[in-house]
Chain A
């Protein structure tokens, strides 16, 4: 069973609107949680990285939150633009020294921004 679950699987939003993507994980203990943006056919690009002691981090119009108690994270996109159309991937890294080299990936949320 995947240790990182993302929802929704896909969503369509109008340009200028906000949206929130969800990530639930079971990796424990964990060291950090990352959000990546992946354009079709290209490598993922890092948006945010949060350690277990952080609960929010922003990168421009992207804001990630983390609740380590409930093992949930969200990525909020503000005032969406056409260029935000991409897959957004949640990635969790384990804490122990023999596990933190292994990254656990969610399946991603496909976001389509329409004019």
Chain B
């Protein structure tokens, strides 16, 4: 099955700085890579996704990059704000199931 590794497990950034979370996957047939944000006491919510035929995607302060050759994808958050504090999960999908990374707890310091 698919194995997704996510680093770092915790990340503390100063407000206004950038945050980067990296993930690797094992199954070269995976073709969809979403990122979910989970706020305290809530379920995960999709914030951005990328498909295997695209190398980069951006949505306001959030961007995701994909390197299919290296089986590596990353989430970039620029100009971080206090409301960006949450747990972020990467995932990889092949056919009908998602495999999730272990999560990154992001704390934005005021």
Real complex partners, A and B?
no
